[in-house]
Amino acid sequence: ARGGAGLVMTEATAVVPEGRISPHDTGIWSDEQRNVWARIASFVKSQGAVAGMQLAHAGRKGSTRRPWDPPPGSVPAAEGGWQTVAPSAIAYEGLETPSALDADGIRAVIEGFRAGARRAMDAGFDLVEVHAAHGYLLHEFLSPLTNERADEYGGSLENRARLVLEIVRAVRAEVGDEVPVFVRFSGSDWADGGWDIDEAVIVAGWAREAGADFFDLSGGGLVAHQRLEPGPGYQVKYAASVHAAGLPTSTVGLITDAAHANEIISSGQATAVMMGREFLRDPHFPLRAAEQLGVELDYWPPQYLRAKGHYTR
């Protein structure tokens, strides 16, 4: 935020305890958590940025060890783990088999997202994002690779999208008409027979009708045998497809250069660019981007104006 970012988004904030990726992850299922998040939202906004909260449920990819805590895999109950849930009892490679959600469980998930959105608003966040990507619970419902249900939440695309749309409606009803609601989709499973960009475009349109305003396109994460093709901007094509359908989008994925990001937006491939690794590498990236693109900044503290040209190099 202090470096000039326009939007700062929290990452995968669990709406229920069993929605965490690891036992160490944060959440928004309690008022105590809301009170701590309020301090973070207040600081982000005090620096001139918009504060967003990404609401998430890890599904079958929950109860796992942190990547830097060997050995990899599921955390046993004795060490703070829990029984994971999913649309169907299909395990992610190397993890324990989840329980298939029943009707009561699905209603609890919807309520978790609704309550999480409420707490995010009470904490002072400006917008919320429904995380339906990267192989977590909502993505698991969307993909035929992980959804083998025979009820109204499985089978056809309309049925597989039902939970996401019900959550979008619940969140929209909770936050009102003035708060932006984002949805994050994977544009592809990067695996044969899986969710793809054609389905993502259709469901994004349905989500817009359900109350979503903006679509954050990423990719993959559903299966371990995915076949990624990484490179600079390798996922821009997903945002471009949704954007071509008349929907506002953002893109992500190995975008680390200001000129590249600007070209993506100016060419109409996306409405915005989200960055992660470049901000971790350089928290003041927007200052250097402005210098590279010849943009005059209007928020330099007067006492530092004499050093402006040196600071951005």
Active site residues: 136
As beta bridge partners, residue 54 has: 129
d(CA 10, CA 104): 28
Angle at which helix 162-175 crosses helix 103-122, to 10 degrees, equals: 30
DSSP 8-state class, residue 281: H
Locate 166 and state its tokens: 């019900």
How far does CA 236 lie from the centroid of its chain? 16
Instruction: Provide the residue type at 88 as one letter.
Output: S
Pairing of strands 85-86, 99-100: parallel
d(CA 134, CA 21): 12
Alpha-carbon Rg for the chain, nearest whole angstrom, is 20
Query: What is the number of residues in the chain?
Result: 313
> Which long-range CB contacts under 8 A does 35-38 form with residues at least 24 apart?
35/123, 37/10, 37/119, 37/120, 37/123, 37/125, 38/122, 38/123, 38/124
290's CB contacts (< 8 A; 6+ apart) are 4, 296, 297, 312
SS (H, E, C) 245-261: CCCCEEECCCCCCHHHH
Q: Is the Cα dihedral 190, 192, 193, 198 positive or negative?
A: positive
Of the candidates 117, 145, 119, 144, which has an alpha carbon nearest to the alpha carbon of residue 131?
117
